């Protein structure tokens, strides 16, 4: 089954209530036609980072990505733009895949067939979700038919677990992270909640990576460049009230869950599903957001273990907090922030013999 996201003709009341109140709704829908939660609630992808401290290298990383002169760019829309994904079940046939980088790929087998939707362009990613086992399969540069398939690399992610890939391993993405959990989906926007971080790219990255990333594809050993896994958030002081209700869902997610640097590509391009339902007007709105309104955050205090994506337990909370706003994590520190905004509460370098990741397309 090919999926690009559920399509609704009108915005739901929860969406309107959420963006008017400026809160993050309690739950986002599972991918359409599934009951699969995309990673546990305590996974770092699903962690609210709105109160984390600003990273010490935030200004340098913004400068290296030309944030002062660049706006956000939604790298998705109607076909052929964005990432399509495929839903299968246990009856779907599976096949072995021949990998160019087999030493850093999960051997499979993978559920594949020629009728599936793959990403357009040179990267030719395949994203496949088994709705019976809630297992995510991702492939980079996939090709083949029948029982004969090949790819650059492949990774398998059980969505009910917080496991990370081995240190130094790539995935179908340069950072060694999954792609699907970081996509903006139309069904999420229509439901009124995006409760996860969003994947984005930068032209240059450092030859290091930060938890939860596992791999780097840097162009230089330069700490002024952001490493894979670097997390950015839209400043709380940035006024999103004049945007449409649909745009506010996405921007609110960027304030609460932020962006994760996952690949080399054009600066400030963020990822979403390929879906004919995306309104051009919404995509145009998002292109007006200045990248200078973002800041890098230090999420190292969330880490329970370098080999797990789980974050530390939530602090006990007392009255005065809306029930549909996630509690802060028990590592919050206050940092000074400009504009009267409310306070906002380890890099592992590795050699990079796989230069194919660093030479991938920039747009």
Distance CA 26, CA 18 (A): 10
Closest CA to 345 of 254, 236, 259: 236
pLDDT band of 315, cuts 50, 70, 90: low
Is the model's pLDDT at 5 over the cut of 80? no
> Tell me: the pLDDT tens digits for 132-162?
999 999 999 999 999 999 999 999 999 999 9
pLDDT band of 313, cuts 50, 70, 90: confident
Residue 14: what pLDDT?
44
Residue 20: what pLDDT?
39
> Tell me: the pLDDT tens digits for 61-98?
999 999 999 999 999 999 999 999 999 999 999 999 99
Distance CA 175, CA 169 (A): 9
More confident residue, 290 or 348: 290
Q: How far is CA 243 from CA 85, 261, 294, in A?
A: 28, 25, 17
- Mean pLDDT of the residues in the chain: 85
What is the average pLDDT across 52-59? 98
Tokens read off for 51: 């109160």
Is the model's pLDDT at 172 over the cut of 70? yes
- Residue 190's SS3 state is helix
Is the model's pLDDT at 12 over the cut of 80? no
Lowest pLDDT segment from 21-25, 139-143, 327-331: 21-25
- b/e 25-50 (16+ beta carbons within 10 angstroms → b): beebbbbbebebbbbeebbbbbbbbb
CA angle 175/34/286 to nearest 5° reads: 55
- pTM, full prediction: 0.84
Percent of the chain with pLDDT over 90: 77
């Amino acid at each position: 089954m090919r999926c690009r996201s559920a399509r609704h003709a009108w915005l739901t009341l929860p969406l309107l209530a959420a963006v008017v109140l400026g809160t993050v709704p309690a739950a986002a829908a599972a991918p359409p036609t599934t009951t699969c939660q995309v990673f546990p609630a305590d996974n770092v992808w699903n962690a609210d980072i709105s109160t984390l401290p600003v990273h010490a290298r935030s200004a340098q990383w913004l400068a290296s990505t030309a944030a002062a002169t660049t706006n956000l760019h939604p790298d998705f829309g109607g076909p052929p733009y964005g990432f399509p994904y495929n839903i299968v079940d246990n009856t779907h046939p599976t096949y072995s895949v021949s990998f160019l980088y087999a030493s850093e790929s999960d051997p499979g087998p993978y559920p594949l067939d020629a009728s599936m939707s793959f990403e357009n362009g040179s990267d030719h990613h395949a994203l496949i979700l088994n709705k019976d086992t809630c297992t995510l399969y991702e492939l980079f540069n996939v090709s083949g038919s029948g029982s004969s398939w090949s790819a650059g690399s492949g990774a398998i992610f059980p969505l009910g677990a917080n496991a990370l890939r081995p240190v130094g391993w790539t995935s179908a993405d340069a950072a060694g992270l999954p792609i699907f959990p970081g996509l903006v989906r139309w069904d999420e926007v229509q439901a009124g909640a995006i409760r996860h971080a969003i994947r984005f790219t930068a032209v240059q990255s450092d030859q290091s990576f930060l938890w939860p990333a596992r791999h780097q594809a840097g162009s230089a050993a330069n700490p002024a460049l952001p490493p894979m896994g670097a997390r950015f958030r839209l400043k709380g002081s940035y006024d999103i009230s004049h945007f449409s209700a649909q745009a506010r869902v996405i921007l609110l997610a960027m304030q609460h869950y932020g962006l994760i640097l996952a690949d080399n590509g054009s600066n400030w391009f963020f990822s979403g599903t390929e879906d004919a339902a995306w309104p051009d007007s919404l995509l145009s709105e998002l292109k007006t957001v200045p990248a200078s309104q973002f800041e890098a955050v230090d999420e190292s205090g969330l880490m329970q273990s370098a080999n797990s994506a789980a974050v530390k337990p939530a602090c006990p909370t007392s009255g005065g907090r809306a029930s549909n706003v996630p509690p802060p994590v028990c590592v919050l520190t206050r940092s000074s922030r400009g504009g009267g905004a409310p306070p906002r509460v380890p890099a592992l370098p590795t050699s990079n013999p796989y230069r194919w990741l660093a030479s991938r397309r920039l747009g």
